[in-house]
Amino acid sequence: MRNIDGRAMGKAIGAEVTTAAAKLEAEGTSPTLAVVVPTNDEATAWYVRSIQRTAARVGVNCRIEQLSSPSVGELTAVLDRLSLDETVHGVICQTPLPEGATLAQVGEHIVPRKDVDGANPVSLGRLAAGMDTFAPATAAAVLEILKRENLDLSGKHVVVIGRSNVVGKPAALLLLAENATVTVCHSRTRDLAEVCARADVLVAAVGRAEMITGAHIKPGAVVVDVGTNPTDDGGLVGDVDADAIAERAGALTPVPGGVGPVTTMLLMRHTVDAAARQSG
């Protein structure tokens, strides 16, 4: 089994983004991403710092809007303000959200042209309808990785495990648009291993540490591991047990170093694209 190097892919995309950001800067537009953080959660803070570092590297301004236990109304007011702020081109909102809020409700307060992480249901609808829009960065990363692997998805059977609005569903829609035959599995799926073992490409977005084993793998399959499960010692493991699938899978995106770096870099690409459109 070959490891797919997400860090190298992230760097390659980063080089393109850096050029595009510098061009905008020279034309008088500073591409700017606003990151709304409605929580003091430490894992979130860690992820936000990694977004900041990536942004600095490619020349995207990153504005952090740290909120402390906001109400839903306070959070959506901030998103409404950023949606109107002409110096901001991309807006994302971190989780966990205030109690009682759903990402779809909150996402409706991010204007679609700045919705670089595809949180607004309008963006999801445009994606489903095959219109131009920003897909959630994680879902876009799944497709980006498969394309950079030169995989022709047409007619291939892809199984997506997970049906969230930010990964499973948009990834399935993107893969369908690439002419893959797509199956979406989830917690209620019967005989999960058997269904997965028919997949030419398996996308794991379950959120359960190392639950995908050899039994889930068709020999030679390409496996994209979207999972980021914290370990007791402060590390991170995916949804896939890399050792268990090593003898059957053809290739795997490792965790860390697979989907993550591509996702973060696609947020930057989306922000620069959004800035280019808004300044044009």
Strands 157-161 and 201-204: parallel
Of the residues 21, 88, 110, 124, which one makes contact with a second copy according to CB under 8 A: 124
CA distance 260 to 256: 7
Among 4, 75, 101, 182, binds a second copy (CB under 8 A): 182
User: Which of the stretches 24-32, 189-197, 205-213, 245-253 binds a second copy when contact is defined by CB under 8 A?
Assistant: 189-197
Minimum separation from the CB atom of position 167 to a second copy (A): 13
Query: Are 156 and 181 spatial neighbours (Cβ–Cβ below 8 Å)?
Result: yes
Regarding 120 and contact with a second copy (CB under 8 A), the answer is yes
Residues 129-168 that bind a second copy (CB under 8 A): 129-131, 154-155, 157, 163, 165
User: Which CB, 120 or 271, lies closer to a second copy?
Assistant: 120
CB of 95 to a second copy, least distance (A): 15
The DSSP element (H or E) to which 203 belongs, if any, is strand 201-204
Inter-residue contact 165 to 104 (CB < 8 Å): yes
> Is 173 among the residues that bind a second copy (CB under 8 A)?
yes
Provide, rounded to whole angstroms, the least separation between the CB of residue 239 and a second copy. 17
Torsion angle defined by CA atoms of residues 267, 164, 67 and 91, in that order, rounded to the nearest 10 degrees:
30
126 vs 269, which CB is nearer to a second copy? Answer: 126
Is residue 193 at the binding interface for a second copy, with CB under 8 A as the rule?
Answer: no
Residue among 52, 183, 278, 279 that touches a second copy (CB under 8 A): 183
Among 30, 52, 181, 213, binds a second copy (CB under 8 A): 181
Task: Give the 3-state secondary structure of residue 176.
Answer: helix
Query: Which residue lies nearer to a second copy by CB, 125 or 230?
Result: 125
> Sign (positive/negative) of CA torsion 145, 249, 217, 205?
negative
Strands 229-230 and 236-237: antiparallel
Element (H, E) at 223: strand 222-225
| Closer Cβ to a second copy, 82 or 158, answer by number | 158
Q: Smallest gap, in angstroms, from Cβ of residue 181 to a second copy?
A: 4
Asked if 67 and 36 touch (Cβ cutoff 8 Å), the reply is: yes
Question: 57 is written with which tokens?
Answer: 């590297």
Supply the DSSP string of 106-125, one letter for each residue: HHTTS-GGG-TT--SHHHHH
The answer to whether 104 contacts a second copy (rule: CB under 8 A) is yes
Residue 261 preceded by cis peptide, ω within 30: no
Q: Which of residues 195-214 bind a second copy (CB under 8 A)?
A: 195
Contacting residues toward a second copy, per CB under 8 A: 104, 120-131, 154-155, 157, 163, 165, 169, 172-173, 176, 179, 181-186, 188-190, 195
